[in-house]
Structure 1
């Protein structure tokens, strides 16, 4: 598809969960996303177990993509204890993996971090009691600080936040209530209130809700691939998001 003179298009999806046996299965999907957009954004759980073999399969599948690719990792990408291998493999394949960093695509700023769990609002876990509880909460705070650091670097008129875990409860509705605390944290919402963005994308909640809003009205999209496939079976399983293209005035 030819570039639009008025908008920048992003194809966004998470929870691809590439396995070692997925070779050849995802190239048509990625090619379709590439054809529809000016950039491909990936919201974590790129691999199933975070192995080097899975990361290499994913890198090969992404060879069909002809537009810039930006990604964050998810919890599955940490499963084997070597997320740096996943990052290195994808980086060599041309993917920009954000972990508290920011980048710019076609004049649109993108801030990315994995995020973490911990619950929402009054249900948020507090840093009190055993050391392991304090460590858990500290991890959530650390991820929120990484997101804030990335957001603070953006100077573009339009901005997107890329996460794996959800910053709000609205987009995980549909999941069992018992696991809400493990699907995201409202601590991630706090920097998004201080540094406004046009839209926020996350995955992780396969049985959640497609769209919600932060308390200040910013749209939040759950782009977990299993959710998109189930909710919109007649459409390709990626979310196509358009941002107005900034036009530079002639001198």
Structure 2
């Protein structure tokens, strides 16, 4: 029997915050990634101020990327209420912007959401009190449910497939450590880790916590990487992307 498995190299980054003045800045970056990786994932904060002109610059720069790109939006991309326009500007044949959807590339399933805050473990906010507080918690619940459904579709359509999750907000506390503890509830939520465990995700990537920690694991051992660009630069990645290899 022929072994059809292969190693796929995933380049991961987040929080690239593309500005309108960035024309030409990212070409060499995306060309290098295309040479070193098989898939690029970008975990939110694609734009700096959520403006469609910034998304148009990124769309142009991504023409230098010759490998498939999978991304999710981040909180900065929602700043001006133009997230739908940003998504439409970025969608191309080889560029996929996920929001509760999944896609299979190189026999690996990628599921993505933005995520939301709410805190971690025993400090996680509960659905109690004022309507505003309940709405805040419900947003994280909704995002987790979207991720759950996307992962469930992957399992239904493709048995025994490797699964990669993309988020902007963190699903675990370990990868936000380094930030001020007072803002932990706004950096992610343990609710986002629940579908990772239930659906046996192989690895998850996120951003948002610029001065957090690169590596962590869920309580049941799923690897989680904070690939925020400022963090990668701080940790000595001269060309700021994290390379992860998965066999599928």
Question: Which TM-score tier does this pair reach, normalised by the shorter chain?
Answer: over 0.9
Alignment length, in residue pairs?
Answer: 240
Tell me, yes or no, if the aligned pair for 1:59 and 1:93 is still in contact at 8 Å.
no
Structure 1: runs of 5 or more not aligned: 246-251
Separation (CA, whole Å) in 2 of partners of 1:79 and 1:121: 28
Question: 1:143-163 CA deviation, whole Å, 9 max, x = no partner?
Answer: 000010111111353111110
1:29 positional shift: 0.8
Q: Which residue of structure 1 aligns with residue 180 of structure 2?
A: 176
Question: 1:30-54 CA deviation, whole Å, 9 max, x = no partner?
Answer: 1111111111111000001111100
Question: 1:159-209 CA deviation, whole Å, 9 max, x = no partner?
Answer: 111100000000001001111000000000111110011101000000000
Structure 1 length as normaliser, TM-score? 0.93
Tell me, yes or no, if the aligned pair for 1:199 and 1:218 is still in contact at 8 Å.
yes
- Secondary structure of 2:22 counterpart: coil
Q: Which residue of structure 2 aligns with residue 57 of structure 1?
A: 57
Matched, 1:45 2:45: yes
Q: Which residue of structure 2 aligns with residue 214 of structure 1?
A: 218
1:227 positional shift: 0.3
Tell me, yes or no, if the aligned pair for 1:201 and 1:223 is still in contact at 8 Å.
yes
Separation (CA, whole Å) in 2 of partners of 1:101 and 1:6: 24
Tell me, yes or no, if the aligned pair for 2:67 and 2:94 is still in contact at 8 Å.
no
1:121 positional shift: 1.1
Matched, 1:119 2:122: no
Structure 2 length as normaliser, TM-score? 0.94
1:130 positional shift: 1.2
Which runs of 4 or more aligned residues in structure 1 lie more than 3 Å from their structure 2 counterparts after TM superposition? none
Q: 2:196 aligns with which of 178, 192, 196?
A: 192
Tell me, yes or no, if the aligned pair for 1:17 and 1:45 is still in contact at 8 Å.
yes
1:122 positional shift: 1.3
* Higher deviation after alignment, 103-112 or 88-97: 88-97
Separation (CA, whole Å) in 2 of partners of 1:174 and 1:93: 38
Q: Which residue of structure 1 aligns with residue 140 of structure 2?
A: 140
Separation (CA, whole Å) in 2 of partners of 1:114 and 1:133: 19
Matched, 1:240 2:246: no
Separation (CA, whole Å) in 2 of partners of 1:184 and 1:14: 15
- Secondary structure of 1:21 counterpart: helix
Q: Which residue of structure 1 aligns with residue 168 of structure 2?
A: 164
Structure 2: runs of 5 or more not aligned: none
C-alpha RMSD of matched pairs (Å): 1.2
1:6 positional shift: 3.3
Tell me, yes or no, if the aligned pair for 2:46 and 2:73 is still in contact at 8 Å.
yes
